[in-house]
Amino acid sequence: MVRFMKCSIDDSIIKKMYKKALKARKNAYAPYSDFEVGAALLTEEGKIFTGSNVENVSYGLSNCAERSAIFSAVSCGYRKYKVLLITADTAQPVAPCGSCRQVIKEFGNNIKVIMTNLEGNFKYKEINELLPDPFER
């Protein structure tokens, strides 16, 4: 079992999330960067939402996998999350970009972020560690 500061997540759930993120990654639309990313988001209720990155020829209109998963969950009425897992074909576990960090932080101070790669390497951080000084109103 992997233990976090205030939340323990069973290894079987992390493995399930990883498999779902890998599957979502296969649906990525990345014809410009060839950088495919998948994400899996675990809600407080135990539901898992996935997302993949979707690029656009006008690069600023692209969307990351992490935000795709969060936006999908929000669209279905879920706004409290435990864990967000991200995976990509990188040498080290892939970290969320700054925009994604801000969006993750919008939904909680204690969300766990599991960064992975295709080789199965994992790195764990809380969103507060990844974005210590968020934009706030």
Reported as a single tens digit per residue, the pLDDT across 40-83 is: 999 999 999 999 999 999 999 999 999 999 999 999 999 999 99
Catalytic residue among 36, 44, 55, 66: 66
The rounded distance, in Å, linking the Cα atoms of 25 and 36 is 6
Give pTM, 2 decimals.
0.93
Structural domains of the chain ordered from first start: 27-130 (3.40.140.10)
Helix, coil or strand: residue 24: helix
> Is residue 1 over pLDDT 80?
no
> Is residue 95 over pLDDT 50?
yes
The verdict on whether 119 is a catalytic residue reads no
Pairing state between β 112-117 and 48-52: unpaired
